[in-house]
Amino acid sequence: MSTIEKAVDKLERAGLQPDAARAPVEHAVATLEKAVSQEPGAPGRATPRSTPPGDRARGEHGAGPRQRAAGDILALPLADLAARGMLTPTSPRSRIAEEFRTIKRPLLRNIDGAAAAGVDNTNLIMVTSALQGDGKTFTAINMALSIAMEQDKTVLFVDADVAKASAGHVLGVPAKSPGLIDVLEDKGITLADTILQTDLDNLRILPAGNLHERCNELLASQAMKSLMVELSRRYSDRVIVFDSPPLLLTTEASVLASFMGQIAFVVSTDETPQEAITEALEHIGEDKIIGMILNKAHGRRNNLFGLGYGYGYGYGYGYGYGYGYGERSAPAGGSA
């Protein structure tokens, strides 16, 4: 029995089941390809944004300080995404496309309220993992692309792994694009100034922004909380997918989780230690819908989609990991 199966079996034997008002996401199988490498993808094309500052409360479609230029579009590097084994609009019937149809359906049903009564912010979905290398960025990007291919769903993809910003590289976001961190610094930069429209009509991207020495503090600040409330309310008709840092390697991941309604927890089959899974789940609040996605689970399509929907995990492992978490470099004086 694999470590993942043992973890799920322990949850079941412990009787950790959600109440009727929080019925779990339906059982499904996620048989994903190998996690995306950290090498940056081919750059896309985007018109640099040099605009006057405006009111933070003015959203992407509000009466902001300027109108978005017609050519202000980010071209997704579709050939590079396909070469990485990722989902693209040109391969709607590929294996990876079918797998993410299975993954996204219960998430969308929760947003529509069929199984998430009493859970706030169900349109905020955080994709995370216990450790680096489990495949959470690969999963987050594919999830966003898959949902954006729905005819009636618009997706805002947020690169919230600000220390690495690897999702932005893969999606072709130009270097030094303003983003999440810049909005939180409150320098007159608004969401309207930072959200990128892509050439996939239903997909927008909020880049990580320029790395700052106070990134951790900014992500845990009142400004971040206010921004999450604004995103959920102002864009309540959108699905907002966050690529988050690993829960056990950074402190900001657990803070970010507190703002979410749904957590997609990625586990590398037979690689992620069971103790790491258990400890990481303890960093997530009891009022969240949590789905466990098995990455690299080849040949298990009819076997297991591990779902850890217990509320209040009581396992206390003092587990030392010793894993480093590579970061983008930032000057001591401020933004990079």
Look at residue 189 and give its three-state secondary structure.
Answer: coil
Tally of CA atoms within 13 A in the half-sphere of 240 that contains its CB: 25
Per residue in 68-122, pLDDT tens? 444 579 999 999 999 999 999 988 889 999 999 999 999 999 998 855 568 888 9
Query: What pLDDT is attached to residue 6?
Result: 52
Domain annotation for the chain: domains and CATH numbers: 3-36+68-295 (3.40.50.300)
DSSP 289: E
Tally of CA atoms within 13 A in the half-sphere of 68 that contains its CB: 18
pTM above 0.85, yes or no: no
Per residue in 30-75, pLDDT tens? 333 333 333 333 334 343 333 333 334 344 444 333 334 445 799 9
What is the distance between the alpha carbons of residues 156 and 183, in angstroms, rounded to a whole number?
16
